[in-house]
Amino acid sequence: MKQMHIIKRSGQEVPFDVTKIENAIRKASNAVDPIEALSEDRIKLIAKEVSGVCEARDRAMHVEEIQDVVENKIMELGSRIVAKKYIVYRYKRELARKANTTDEQILSLIECNNEDVKQENANKNPTINSVQRDYMAGEVSKDVSARLLLPQDIVQAHKDGLIHFHDMDYYAQHMHNCDLVNLEDMLQNGTVISGTMIEKPKSFSTACNIATQIIAQVASNQYGGQSISLTHLAPFVDVSRQVIRKELENECAAAGVTMAADKFDAIVEKRVRKEIEKGVQTIQYQVVTLMTTNGQAPFVTVFMYLGEARNEQEKKDLAMIIEEVLNERIKGVKNEQGVYITPAFPKLIYVLEPENISEDQPYWYLTELSAKCTAKRMVPDYISEKKMLEYKVDKNGNGNVYTCMGCRSFLTPFIDENGKPKYYGRFNQGVVTINLVDIALSAHGDMERFWQLFEERCELCHKALQCRHERLTGTLSDAAPILWQYGALTRLQKGEPIDKYLHGGYSTLSLGYAGLWECVYALNQKKLTEPEGEKLGLEIMRKLNEFTAKWKAAENIDYSLYGTPLESTTYKFAKCLQKRFGVVKGVTDKNYITNSYHIHVTEPIDAFKKLEIEAKFQRLSPGGAISYVEVPNMQNNLPAVLAIMKYIYENIMYAELNTKSDYCQVCGFDGEIEIVKDASGKLIWKCPKCGNTDEAKLNVARRTCGYIGSQFWNQGRTQEIKERVLHVS
């Protein structure tokens, strides 16, 4: 039998020891009347049955999961009286542990033994002090939130995996999720960072430097993603141009040189290009080297949209910035061995629009460069201007194009008091996700029961979202001056509450959803790729939207449906489902569940058909969602990348291409690092060339939740990555 492992309550992973199960059963048996006691053979048989269940799960099970299995097996193969004693024993032990619920978790964090937390976030390195400090604070915050701040039905539903109350480790503080930074206001009108006045920059490179400082400050005052637009930096190109022009005039005068106008202009533009290169390099290198107070690089997205430019000169300058950003990303950043690898941040979004979508358009060269960048580094991701104008229509009847907040969370259209659309300076209050798979399995094929449970769980999520909203209500601007006083979101006075921005559609609350694929399959044994499955899936999506619309109308708070980017939660939900329902073929037989509305990663389907089907679901996810296609190395097949990009423009609002970009520090292998099983059955990463399995000596980049992750993943997500099929052959 393979060497199995278990995960203790502290999060530490240790070898599975069947004798501990035998001893626990024996203690329970010894506590009952000898007539009711179990024989030694029966005790060993029960322990053997439990071992078989653990081995079949194909992952390290938590000790509480194993204890649940023990209870069931005692009742199945032994005695209900012994089982009752075992349950009482567990209960008493649980009461003793509740005297202090966080000590063991914190100690295991410090010693880097907490397997759950170590792989919770693929962009955090759990071995460094700042990350450990953030995780330790998070454990305390979760404990306080669960015991004192949140209703117990919400806490229990979160624990059981019926819902997921996102970012509970930040709930105790008055913090929100993600936002669109009003970089334009901060650069044009000045801001304050750490008590220091920052005035309007006098060059493009200075503007880029200030932008990175703003990004770091914003990331330290909220817990989600943020986005900035390159359009807000574009005016400073001409600021630098005028400075360079004046400097060159002075140089010529000092040297007594008269220069032809065209030659003079060419030198100026050459220097402008160098200034842009300098500024863009600042953004790239500072973003990947900055560390915020939560011990990670800022989760920042950079938006590249020519249509935002206010005049032709600004559009040309913006195009130069975009070109340099793409070139820098293609080059990558050096790892500790000096080898260029794929950085996780910033995430890039490139808008496909009439001026860049076909070969005869002036900015087609940028689209070709984007294709090259995607093939090499997995970004940029793509927004279709055509489809977004169709989807995001405001109350004036006009379509709008704007970036998501971070990886996929989209605001709903909003018209300000001047009748103008507004996006920058807005934010999301928080997310709660409903586990659709659990509802389907709980209904046992009864559709009437499904819709009844569906409503109950949606209202439970509604209650949890109201907790999010109420936690922010009354927050003073002093809680995060960079956000509320100095322009990132708005410019309130000191001591002024933020309440007015929590209502009226200015900010959003997100109802997330997960596992639509498994939910539909559990109900009617059909896939989303089949007509009957698609019909039911779309009906479920419409019902979810009906709930958010109802809550919004009743409360004047903008609730929106959000395709949750499950990372660690995909594993958590899968484990909870297996605990409640066992292994159900096609539904709970994986250690992960499917993100949002996505077609299952194992489903054979070509890229175009996948995007065609998922576009129908994406439109019903107005609070955010992204579709992807899994591709092989496309660096020598850019026409295929461009064909997919053109298809995105015509058919779906927001999509990305997933390729691989890995490196082995031991042998220099540059390709795809493999996922294999070790002797215990655990999934590990292995260099196919030299066999290196030391994660500290592997650079692996994969997209798992909209962002690129580079710090490895839990067992559920690793299995999902391993099982992904290609959508382009």
Active site residues: 177-178, 405, 407, 409, 428, 562, 567, 706
Contact 611, 655 (CB under 8 A): yes
Per the rule left: phi > 0, alpha: psi between -120 and 50, beta: everything else, 610 is alpha
Q: Give the gyration radius of the chain's Cα atoms.
A: 27
For 544, counting Cβ atoms within 10 Å of its Cβ (0-12 exposed, 13-18 middle, 19+ buried), the class is buried
d(CA 528, CA 612): 12
Nearest to 692 by CA among 655, 651, 664, 662: 664
Query: Of 135, 278, 269, 167, whose CA–CA distance to 212 is shortest?
Result: 278
CA distance 102 to 453: 33
Between CA 319 and CA 237 the distance in angstroms is 11
- Using CA of residue 370, residue 375, residue 380, residue 386, what is the dihedral sign? positive
Strand 5-7 to 61-62 pairing:
parallel
- The full DSSP string for 137-171 is HHHHHHHHIIIIIS-HHHHHHHHHTSEEETTGGGT
The 3-state DSSP composition of the chain as helix, strand, coil percent (nearest 5) reads 50, 15, 35
d(CA 156, CA 167): 16
- Closest by CA position to 431, among listed 507, 348, 373, 353: 507
Phi/psi at 352 (5° precision): -85, 125
Q: Which residues contact 470 (CB under 8 A, 6 or more apart)?
A: none
Q: DSSP labels for 12-44? A: BEEE--HHHHHHHHHHHHHTS-TTTPPPHHHHH
**What are the φ/ψ torsions at residue 706 (nearest 5 degrees)?**
100, -45
Residue 566's H or E segment, with its range, is: none
Q: Residues 511, 465: contact at Cβ < 8 Å?
A: yes
Q: What angle do CA 527, 530, 531 make, to 5 degrees?
A: 130
Contact (Cβ atoms closer than 8 angstroms) between residue 527 and residue 603 = yes
Q: What is the residue whose two structure tokens read 């001047």?
A: 418
3-state secondary structure labels for all residues of 348-369: EEEEECCCCCCCCCCCHHHHHH
For 303, the enclosing helix (H) or strand (E) is strand 300-304
Q: Which two tokens stand for residue 593?
A: 């569940």
Per-residue tokens: 113: 């033994």
CB 487 within 8 A of CB 191: yes
C-alpha dihedral sign at 436, 404, 717, 727: positive
Quick one: DSSP state of residue 196? E
CB contact at 8 A, 320 and 273: yes
DSSP state letter for 201: P
Q: Going by DSSP bridges, is the β-strand pair 558-563/340-341 parallel, antiparallel, or unpaired?
A: unpaired
- Residue 610 · residue 727 · CB < 8 Å: yes
User: 383 pairs with which residues across the strands?
Assistant: 351, 654
Phi, psi of 15 (to 5 degrees): -65, 145
Which candidate, 622, 575, 643, places its Cα nearest to that of 54?
575
> Distance between CA atoms of 512 and 433, rounded to whole angstroms?
4
What are the φ and ψ backbone dihedral angles of 708, each rounded to 5 degrees? -85, 130
